[in-house]
Structure 1
Amino acid sequence: MPIWLHVTLIVFIVYFIISILLYYLQDYFLFKPEKLPADFQFLYENQVVEEYHLTTRDGAVLNGLHFKVEKPIGVVLYLKGNSKSIKGWGKFAIDFTRLNYDVIMVDYRGFGKSTGKRSQKAIKRDLQFVYDEIKKRVAEKHIILYGRSLGSGFAAKLASMNTPKMLILDAPYYSLTKVTGRYMPFMPLSVILKYPMPTYKWLKYVTCPIHIIHGTKDKLIPFKTSVKLSQIKPKITRLYPVIGGGHKNMNTFESYHEILNNIIRSKPIEIDLNTTSIGVVHASKK
C-alpha cells in the first residue's frame, strides 16, 4: 500500500472515531448540570418562593421555583443557561420581582432535582408543558419569556409557538451548530450534533416584540451574533448592547439593569412616520 494511501486511511479512521466520540459525549460538553438531593431546601433572602414538581407524559419530573410578589402584573418564565441548577440561578429572580413580576424557573432534565432522559425534543416538550401550566393561571399578554445563553434558543422556540407579551434574549446564539463550529470547524456538526438549536429559524415565526441584550466583549458568543439575529425580524426587534459586558457578568453592569427596566416597564409608543424625516430625500448635485 502506498504511504500516502496508508496515511489517508489512518486520518480517516481517526476522524471517524472522533466523530463517534463527539456524538456520544456531546452531552458532557454542552451541559454542566448540578445534582441536588430530593430534600434540598431552597432559601433566598427577601424573596417569597414556592417549589413545585411537574410530571411529564413520559414520567419525568420537572423541578422548579415560583418567586412571588404581592400583586404581580405578570410572570416571567426564565430559561437558564447550561450550567449548575436553579439553586444558583434563583438569585437573578430579584431583577424581575423588583419590577413586580412573578418569576418561574425550571431545571432541565438531569439538572437539580429534575429527572428524565435529556434530548432537544424532550426539553422543548417539557418547556411547552410548563408554559401551558402558566397559561392556565395567567393570560399570555402578561407572560414574558426570558432566555439566557442556552435558554435563549428554547425561549425563541416557545415564543414561535405561542403569543407571549414579549421575548427577551440574553446573550443568544445563532445556533449551537455555529457556536461549536468555531471550536471544531472540520467536524461534521450538522450530522452529529444532537442539539443544533437553530435560534435563527425559530425567530422567523415569532410575532411578539423581541428584545436582545448582549455584552460587547462576550468571548463565548460574540456580540455580532445578536446583530445578525436582530436582522431576522427587524420591525419587531430591538438590540441593546451592554458596553464591556462579557458572557457571565452582565448582571454586574448598571446599564444591564437599566436596559431591563426600560424593556419591561416601557409602553410601546405609536409614531406617525409622516411627521418624521423618513420620507425626506437628500438633494443631489445636478
Structure 2
Amino acid sequence: MALILMLTYLALCGIMYWTQRSFLYFPQPATGSSGPERILDLRVDDVRVRVSVRNREGADALVYFGGNAEDVTRSLDDYAQAFPDHAIYMLHYRGYGGSTGAPSEAALHRDAKVLLDLVKSRHSRVMLVGRSLGSGVAVRLAAENPVERLVLITPYDSIVNVGREQFPWLPVGWLLKDRFESVRWAPAVKARTLILMAERDEIIAAERTRALHRTFASGVASLEVVPGADHNSIMGSTGVFGRMR
C-alpha cells in the first residue's frame, strides 16, 4: 500500500510539473474596445509580441504588465483617462491578444526589456505598473533599469511561496519552472514605489504582499491597503487611480 501511495504521489508530481504553466498562464484574446489605441508589434526571438498603445508626445510614459488572465486592452481606456499626459504601452504576453509564442518567465522578461528600451528611446520619464503576475515582471525590470516610478497592484513576494500556500501537499520549490522571485530583485529597486494591496485578496495572501514590501530598501516603497477590495475588483475601487497619480 505504501508503495502504491508513493507511486501515485510521484505521478501527481510529474503531471503537475509538465502541466504547471497551464495553472499559471491563462491567455486571453484582445477583446477590448479599439478606442484611441493602436497596435505596436515587436519582434523578439522571432516571435511577434503585441503592445496596445495610446500615443502621446512628451516626456511621460506608462508601461503596464497585466495579470495572468487579463486582456490588457480592457484597461487601456481607464489608464488613458487617469493619466492623460502619458503615453501608454500595454504588453500582451506571448500567446495573449495576438502575440505569438508561449508564455514563460524568461520570455516575459525578455519582451519587457525590449519594450522598455523602445519606450525609453521615446520618453525620458517612465512609470512601470505591474498587476498580479505582472508585478513580478515590473519589479525585476525596475531593478535592472532606471525608471521614474513603480506601481505594484496585488503583488507577491514569490510565485514559489504563493504556490506553496495553494498546493501545500506538493514540493513546489522543486517543481516550479517560472518562479518570479520578486524578493530577489526588490532590494535593488531605486524608483519610488507604491504597493496597492486588496484588503480581501483571495488569491495573494496579505503576508505575501507584506513580505515583498519588507524587502525594498528603506524609504523606497509605501504600502497602501485598498478597503473592501478583492483581487479582481481592486481597480474598480474608489480612489485607486488617484493613489497611483
- Counterpart for residue 222 of structure 2: 238
- Counterpart for residue 77 of structure 1: 63
Does residue 175 of structure 2 align to residue 192 of structure 1?
Answer: yes
Deviation per residue, 1:2-21 (Å, 9 max, x gap): xxxxx221111111111111
Deviation per residue, 1:15-69 (Å, 9 max, x gap): 1111111111111111111245xxx89512xxx212110111x200001111134
**2:20 equivalent among 21, 26, 35:** 26
Does residue 127 of structure 2 align to residue 133 of structure 1?
Answer: no
Shift of 1:250: 1.3
Deviation per residue, 1:62-107 (Å, 9 max, x gap): 01111134x5450010000001433333343235433x21110011
Identity of aligned residues (%): 25
Q: TM-score, normalised by structure 1?
A: 0.80
- Counterpart for residue 122 of structure 1: 107
Q: TM-score, normalised by structure 2?
A: 0.93
- Counterpart for residue 59 of structure 1: 46
- Counterpart for residue 43 of structure 1: 34
Does residue 186 of structure 2 align to residue 203 of structure 1?
Answer: yes
Cα distance in 1 for residues equivalent to 2:32 and 2:26: 21
Deviation per residue, 1:169-207 (Å, 9 max, x gap): 000011111111112112111111111110111101111
Secondary structure class of the residue paired with 2:122:
coil
**1:103 corresponds to which letter in structure 2?**
I
Cα distance in 2 for residues equivalent to 1:227 and 1:130: 29
Cα distance in 1 for residues equivalent to 2:32 and 2:170: 43
**2:135 equivalent among 145, 149, 152:** 152
Deviation per residue, 1:128-148 (Å, 9 max, x gap): 011111111112xx1001000
**1:130 corresponds to which letter in structure 2?**
L
Change over 3 Å in CA distance of 1:138–1:16 after alignment to 2: same
Question: Retained in 2: the 8 A contact 1:174–1:200?
Answer: yes
Shift of 1:241: 1.1
* Structure 1 segments unaligned to the other structure (5+ residues): 1-6, 262-286
* Structure 2 segments unaligned to the other structure (5+ residues): none
**1:247 corresponds to which letter in structure 2?**
H
Question: Retained in 1: the 8 A contact 2:58–2:123?
Answer: no
Shift of 1:125: 0.8
Cα distance in 2 for residues equivalent to 1:95 and 1:192: 42
Question: Retained in 1: the 8 A contact 2:156–2:162?
Answer: yes
Cα distance in 1 for residues equivalent to 2:102 and 2:27: 13
